[in-house]
Amino acid sequence: MPLNHYVTLGRSGLRVSPLCLGAMTFGKDWGWGSSVKDSEAIMDRFFELGGNFIDTANAYTKGHSEKIIGDHVGRHASKRDRLVIATKFTSNLFRGDPNGGGMSRKAIVAQCEESLRRLQTSYIDLYWLHAWDATTPIDETMRALDDLVSSGKVRYLGFSDTPAWKCAEAQTIARMRGWSPLIALQIEYSLLERTVEGELVPMARELGLGVTPWSPLKSGVLSGKYTRDKHGKHEAGRGAWATSSLGDKTYDIVEELMRIAKELDTTPSRVAIAWVQGRPGVTATIIGARTMAQLDDNLAAIDVALNPAHIAKLDALSTPKLNFPADFIANGAMFLHGGTTINGRGALPWPLSPESDQDRH
């Protein structure tokens, strides 16, 4: 599927490219990342190929990421209006100010104004809650966000890095009160982070939120450069974000990615991204790129077609242990509809059920 074969995001009419350009690497203010010139070149390449969805946050490179986007495309109406620009709030950029970040009305409005200034635009297409702030009532947050939508400063809303139960509460309140609903969920999702399949992904599918995974390569661990024979010798640019994931399970997955990549004449990175993009509920996977070579490699994932055998093998190697009641529910089919098939799913008879109508009391 080409990059310009757009998809609607969640329960909305917003059309986005199936891959989203993550801008956390824009700027070297954190000691790593892309120069301004390289960031602009990466954006141009992505847009030229049909990509229209770019994701940043107020905190990325201390606000510089937003400014780079604003300087390059935000200030140019002819470019800006063709893009879906997403940014996030909650991160505090003002040390010592208790209201500088978070989910309160005061913080949200201030952060939105600051992002608009840096992005040099009059509106944000998709405004994400970056991470849940447990000190703020969720109805205060949702009402403040609804006001931003009503004012025209924000078009759509989404949540990132928030428990499923809190997302569900927010969505329910918004629907009941006629406020702007959430349309998207941004979560870490990869072959090394699948616990989101327990609560977050099912919640998103049920409540109309399109899933946009971040870190599909687990900070580069699934790119193929971290191999078993180099264990202990890696100098990860992302430090513990990468090295904390290294171990036998990771190396087993990486070796399978490399095997599939060789079979398909592609790269492990592309295979890993293609696996994420094919997961149920996923709309647009967020890819990050510090260099043009990384961008081109990641974008080519859109042309990778994994067959059922490839998917089954990767699924088996990466199956996570989910929290209760995931296993209980998965095994519950036998006592819910044992001996029958519902929606294509068959279930063995429950051995403790009556064998015939005459056995029932």
Tokens of 114: 């600051």
Contact in structure between 169 and 196 (CB atoms under 8 Å): no
Contact in structure between 55 and 63 (CB atoms under 8 Å): no
If DSSP codes are grouped into helix, strand and coil, which group holds residue 65? helix
Residues in the chain: 361
Tokens of 40: 């602009």
Cβ-based neighbour number of residue 105 at 10 Å: 15
Cα separation of 282 and 295, whole Å? 20
Contact in structure between 297 and 273 (CB atoms under 8 Å): no
Convert 243-286 into a string of H (helix), E (strand) and C (coil).
Answer: HCCCCHHHHHHHHHHHHHHHHHCCCHHHHHHHHHHCCCCECCEE
Contact in structure between 191 and 217 (CB atoms under 8 Å): no
211's enclosing H/E stretch is strand 210-214
If DSSP codes are grouped into helix, strand and coil, which group holds residue 358? helix
State the pairing for strand pair 7-8/15-16.
antiparallel
Cα separation of 154 and 176, whole Å? 21
Q: Which residues contact 262 (CB under 8 A, 6 or more apart)?
A: none
Whose tokens are 């809303």? That residue is: 157
Q: Which of 60, 127, 156, 226 is catalytic?
A: 60
* CA-wise closest residue to 42 among 73, 17, 63: 73
Cα separation of 292 and 25, whole Å? 12
Active site residue 251: no
Which sequence positions are flagged as catalytic?
60
